[in-house]
Structure 1
Amino acid sequence: MKIVAAEGGRRKKYALLLAARDSEYVRKVYGGYLEVFVRAFGDSDGDGDGGEDWDVFRVVDGEFPGDEELDGYDGFVISGSPHDAYSDELWILRLCLLVCDLVAMRKRLLGICFGHQVICRALGGHVGKARGGWDIGIREVAISETLPPYMYLNGVLQRRLSAATCYAKITEIHQDEVWELPAGAEVLASSSKTGVEMFCFGDRVLGIQGHPEYTSDILLNLVYRLSTAGSITVSMAMAEGVRRQLETTGPDREFWIELCKSFLKTEEE
C-alpha cells in the first residue's frame, strides 16, 4: 500500500515498518496505522522538493522490503507493537538484522516504543520488562541539557531548552523498556518512570519510548481494549484513570511531531 503526498519534482520516500496489526478502531476511524503515521509525520503539502511517498511493510506478518529496495528510501519508521522487542520470534530477529543493515547504510531510522527498543537491541543494547510496571497515560519527560550537535536536535530541542522549557509531555503505553543503551548511543530524554525515554545513535538513528503519533482517542481505545480483554495487568480502574487524566492534560504533540519530522527530513552536512 502506498500513500502519495504531492506531485512533481524529486519525491522523498519513506517506509513504515509496521510491527502491529491494525485494530478495528484504527481501520474504521483512520484507515489503518499507516495513515496515522502519515498524518503525523508526512508532508501532504510538499516540502519544496516535490513531496513524499510512504510505503508500509507489515513486518509483524513477515513482510519486509527487499535488499534492492532499501536504497530507494530516505527514511524508515519502526512502529510500536504488542510483542516484546527481546523475543526471539523469527520476524523480530529479521527486523534486528534489517536495523543493522539500515544503520550500516546510514539511512534515517526512527523507532517508536517497540521500535525504540528493537533498535537498541539490534545495536547491542539490552531491553526487558519495565521494572516499574506499565506506564500508561501522559508522562512528563526531561530533555537532556547537553545535546549532540546534530541539526535536527538544534532545530527543535535546543529551541525548547533556550525557552527554559526542559520538559515535554508525551503519550505512553508500554510495559517494556530499554535497560542499557548500545555503546555510542546517547540519552536525550528521561522520566521518573523510564530512564531512557529518547536516545540517538549518531545523527541517523532516533528512538522514542512514547507515542508521538497517537491521538487521545487512539490511546483510550487501546487502553479499554486491554482492560476488557482479560488482561490481569491492565485494569478497568487503570483505564478510567487514563480517561480522567486526559480530561485535564494532554501531550505536547506538536513538539514531538515537529521533532520527528525534523529528524526524518533534515539533511545533515
Structure 2
Amino acid sequence: MGDGKRFAVLLCAEDSDYVKKRYSGYYGVFVEMLAEEGETWDVYKVANGEFPDDNEIDNFDGFVITESCNDAHGDDVWIYKLIALLNKLDSLNKKVLGICFGHQILSRALGGKTGRAISGWDIGVTAIHLSSSSSKLFSSLKIPTTLSVIECHRDEVRELPPKAEVIAWSEKTGVEMFRYGDHILGIQGHPEYTKDIMLHLIDRLLQRSFIQESYADILKEKLVKVEPDKEAWKKLCTSFLKGRL
C-alpha cells in the first residue's frame, strides 16, 4: 500500500506519439511500473525547463529520473539545472532512482564521468549480473543474481562518483547499476520498458539513421525470442524507492 506517499517523475524525454497514445507518455510508463494504491505521482517536464520549486521538494518522498535523447555529458541549460537539483536532493537524503540517462546524470551530478560507450550501442535484452554486495542488499526480495533487462543506450558511466559502488555489470557495460549511500540508485537498463516500446524505438532509431536496417532486423528478430525479467525489476525498483529493502 502507498500510505499516502508522494513521488515525482523528472521527465527528461520527449514523448513519442506512440507512447503518448498507448501509455499517456513516459510518465504513464513509470507510473504503471512503480505506483501503488494511495500514492500521489506528479511529473515535471525538466527537459522543457519545468522544475519543482524549493518549497515543493519537501513534499516528495522520492524522485525518478527518466531516459532522454540528450547526452548526460551535454551542456544544455536544463541539464545544469537538473544537476543542481540532484545535488540538493542528495543533501536532503531524498530517495532518487535514475534510469538510463537518469543513471548517467546522477553519476555526473555526484562527481562521476559519463561519455560515449566504447563498445557502441547496446540495444535489446541484456543479462545483468548482480554483485555479491547487491545480492545481500536485495536478499529480502528473493530475486535471481542474473536479471534480463531491456537496454537502449550508446552512452555509459565511465567513472563512478567517489563513495559510489557498482552493484551490477554486464558483458558490454561495466556500470549497469550503482548505489550511492542508501538513497540513490542508478540503473543503466530500462526496467520500465515493454517489448512493444522497444520495437517502436528501434524503428525510430532507424528513421533517424542512428542504426542500419540490417541491424534493426537482427534486433527485432532477437527481441521476439527473449523476455526481460519485468516483475523482478519492478520489485527491486519499488522496494528501493519506498524504503522497503
Q: Is the 8 A contact 2:176 2:187 kept in 1?
A: yes
1:173–1:103 CA distance, 2 compared to 1 (3 A): same
> Alignment partner for residue 203 of structure 1, among 171, 175, 182?
182
Equivalent residue, structure 2, for 1:131: 118
Equivalent residue, structure 2, for 1:55: 42
Q: Is the 8 A contact 2:96 2:184 kept in 1?
A: yes
Q: What's the CA shift for 1:105?
A: 0.3
1:267–1:254 CA distance, 2 compared to 1 (3 A): closer
Aligned equivalents of 2:215, 2:57: Cα separation in 1: 41
1:95-106 matches, within 5 Å, as 95-106=82-93
Equivalent residue, structure 2, for 1:238: 215
Deviation digits for residues 224-265 of structure 1, max 9, x if unmatched?
Answer: 111022x2x312222212211122111111111110000111
Q: What's the CA shift for 1:155?
A: 2.3
> Alignment partner for residue 216 of structure 1, among 190, 195, 198?
195
1:32 equivalent in alignment to 2:32:
no
Q: What's the CA shift for 1:99?
A: 0.5
Q: Is the 8 A contact 1:124 1:181 kept in 2?
A: yes
Report the number of matched residues: 245
Aligned equivalents of 2:213, 2:185: Cα separation in 1: 33
Q: Is the 8 A contact 1:137 1:171 kept in 2?
A: yes
Aligned equivalents of 2:153, 2:226: Cα separation in 1: 19
Q: Is the 8 A contact 1:224 1:236 kept in 2?
A: no
Deviation digits for residues 148-179 of structure 1, max 9, x if unmatched?
Answer: 865xx3322xx23xxxx421110000000000
1:87–1:170 CA distance, 2 compared to 1 (3 A): same
Aligned equivalents of 2:93, 2:139: Cα separation in 1: 20
Aligned equivalents of 2:66, 2:203: Cα separation in 1: 20
Equivalent residue, structure 2, for 1:66: 53
1:261 equivalent in alignment to 2:238:
yes
What amino acid does structure 1 have at the position aligned with 2:242? K
Equivalent residue, structure 2, for 1:119: 106
> Alignment partner for residue 143 of structure 1, among 130, 139, 144?
130
Q: Secondary structure at the match of 1:72?
A: coil
Aligned equivalents of 1:212, 1:77: Cα separation in 2: 12
Q: Secondary structure at the match of 2:58?
A: helix
Q: Is the 8 A contact 2:5 2:40 kept in 1?
A: yes
Q: Secondary structure at the match of 1:147?
A: helix
Percent identity of equivalent pairs: 47
Q: Is the 8 A contact 1:228 1:236 kept in 2?
A: no
Q: Which runs of 5+ in 2 are unaligned?
A: none
1:86 equivalent in alignment to 2:43:
no
What TM-score, normalized by structure 1, do the two folds share?
0.88
